[in-house]
Structure 1
């Protein structure tokens, strides 16, 4: 197993990837207690839909959980960037439950979205990882994901799987109580979630092996494009974000078919393409794109539930695809962390720090 250093080394991304499985186990064991508050709110009324307002990795978390939530709740789950909700997309959500997501609970945009939802008369709940945050103080119904006990979470490497798990567990519990999820569906989903959590260390080890096998190429990447659809789109979003904010690589995510309608014309030989293939509905199309992409670049990789081969990281599982973001995000976390370790690259400089101080995106 890859290890980044001795006992005096400060916590880094890879440490949080190592911590995530046990944290997820604890969330599963305490699921009834953790999600009961949000479940009670949801089942107290017949909400028309759920609107999730979030930014950054929290937005990606909601995107990862969206299709599982819709499956078990039988209701539309709309994921909107916090500032877009607050300034533009706050109308036409009558009867919706608005959930504001923030890992640290300090996002100024999400705090503004919370205020807007209140002004619109919607019922509002907030989810955070850290107790005592400004968001918790501003929202009467604030709930903890259950991941803060493990300490500092570097670049949300622990928070993405744990928070995604929380949202899915909420949907399962609320779905059973509301009658939109059968007991058989519930048992199967919980069983699959337990399998996914137990597979997390193995996927991390596969990601390490994948990185070692492609290390020279991965450490030399100049431009990255991540591609996914359905439950894989949130994974592609988070993958691009991780490579941007940690390594400082130009990275963008695309929905699978939209990727073919313009963005592919940008691709040159040095480009690196990551395809997320976890959705059975689009599996054949993903493989078709993976094979054809070699006409444009040699640097094309596939994160797949079951496909195997050169440049393919195989999760090797038949778990329900709507639950697979828990596993599929791990390779991107590992790759970003290890590139930073091996090249000493960092997207955070004194200049980006000064810029963010002027932007004030976090409440104090």
Structure 2
């Protein structure tokens, strides 16, 4: 049986393939300046992680909305000239209906990102972009999350190129930077495995997990929340750095373990200040960073990567931790639970 860990180990070769085979001549991307992304769950987190790259590299504005809320309460801003609907399975009921709402009343380009070219969502959008990562049969998506982040980044490059905001030389440099990042994934997994072996006893004993990120790695912190909640099944939450300082810190106690996601940024000193303060109030503060060296509780990945690309890599340790912590706690992730949930709640077609 294929496991969540198997898919984690497939990420490097899968993402290499995605970059190599991506079609930068996708239709109707020219002159896109305002883009609405509809996504939920890990797809939402992936969109949040890719947002900064898309806006800065593609030179456009990105708005991300939950499709169910948009369907019942939302309104399309007339400035939007592209809607991207993200659903790895292609069966998300709310996302499908949200796209139908848009295409029924608005003349606007729609693209769906999915791993299944024959899924229901492909029937309601103008165009389909296959995530090109195969079908992930484990419910706790890992490879699919990373594939979504990368495809959104590549899509923004295609938009910038077709809109003549980026020349061929810059496009090739961006592709080279993404390739360089992807080539480091196996190294990241190896370093994460060694770090986990040293920390697994204390991680097993934690009763509350938190992750704090900033900039594009706010999306990484939110995906940590999703993965840990799904697998470790203990209270887990991801926060944007400054948001944590406005109230949530008041719940901190000696049973909490906090992961700080840190990149070389103007915000780094703010993260270090919060970490320094919280260390005496919680069980443990860990750091997942792009740095070349760190202390005993820092997983320093030694990555020569820009902050806007870093979410593609900094999520890997959390995926690995989620699987391993669940396993040492005796949770069988291969055993399906709430098997009738989607059928009863009609959350997927």
TM bucket (normalised to shorter chain) is over 0.9
1:145 to 131, 138, 163: 131
The answer to whether the Cα contact below 8 Å between 2:32 and 2:163 also exists between their aligned partners in 1 is: no
What's the CA shift string for 1:68-118, capped at 9, x where partnerless? 111121110111111122122323244431110000001111111111221
Distance change in 2, residues 1:256/1:19 (3 Å): same
SS in 2 for 1:98: strand
| Paired residues for 1:252-271 under 5 Å | 252-271=237-256
Matched, 1:29 2:20: yes
**2:258 — aligned with what?**
273
Q: Which runs of 5+ in 1 are unaligned?
A: 1-9
Preserved CA contact (<8 Å) 1:245 1:348: no
Q: Aligned to 2:10, what secondary structure does the other structure show? A: helix
Aligned to 2:82: 97
Alpha carbons 2:53, 2:308 under 8 Å: kept: yes
Distance 1:65 1:181 in 2: 18
- Runs (4+) of structure 1 exceeding 4 A deviation are 346-351
**Residue 82 of structure 2 corresponds to residue 111 of structure 1:** no
The structure-2 alpha-carbon separation of the partners of 1:285 and 1:182, relative to structure 1 and needing over 3 Å to count, comes to farther
Give the drift of 1:174: 2.2
Q: How does 1:301-312 map to 2 (within 5 A)?
A: 301-306=286-291, 308-312=294-298
Query: Which of 49, 52, 70 is matched with 2:55 structurally?
Result: 70
- Asked if residue 136 in structure 1 is aligned to residue 122 in structure 2, the reply is yes
Q: What's the offset of the Cα at 1:315?
A: 2.1
The CA distance in 2 between the partners of 1:175 and 1:335, in whole Å, is 36
CA distance in 2, matches of 1:267, 1:276: 18
Q: Name the SS for the 2:122 alignment partner.
A: helix
Distance 1:48 1:120, change over 3 A: farther
2: distance between equivalents of 1:186 and 1:55?
A: 29
Q: Which residues of structure 2 form unaligned runs of 5+?
A: none
- Out of 196, 201, 207, the position equivalent to 2:181 is 196
Cα pair distance change 1:336/1:270, threshold 3 Å: same
Distance 2:77 2:17 in 1: 38
The answer to whether 1:13 aligns with 2:4 is yes
Distance 2:55 2:75 in 1: 20
Alpha-carbon shift at residue 173 of structure 1 (Å): 2.5
Contact 1:224 1:250 in 2 (8 A): yes
Distance change >3 Å, CA 93–CA 273, structure 1 → 2: farther
Distance change (3 Å), C-alpha of 1:353 and 1:327: same
More helix by proportion, 1 or 2?
1
1:234 maps to 219
Secondary structure of 2:286 counterpart: strand
Q: Report how many aligned residue pairs link the two structures.
A: 347
Residue 6 of structure 1 is matched in structure 2 by none
For residues 27-79 of structure 1, what are the alpha-carbon distances to aligned partners after superposition, in whole Å with 9 as ceiling and x for unaligned?
Answer: 11112x3x432xx2211xx3340100001111111111111111121110111
The 2-side partners of 1:311 and 1:188 are apart by 34
Go from structure 1 to structure 2 and tell me whether the alpha carbon gap of 1:233 and 1:103 turns closer, same or farther (over 3 Å shift): same
1:42 aligns with 2:29: yes
1:318-349 per-residue CA deviation (whole Å, 9 max, x = no partner) reads 21111111110000100011122222226898
SS in 2 for 1:281: coil
> Match of 1:353?
339
What is the rounded CA distance, in whole Å, between the counterparts of 1:234 and 1:344 in structure 2? 28
**Which residue number corresponds to residue 202 of structure 2?**
217
- Is the Cα–Cα contact under 8 Å of residues 48 and 95 in structure 1 kept in the other structure? yes
Q: Shift of the alpha carbon at 1:215?
A: 0.1
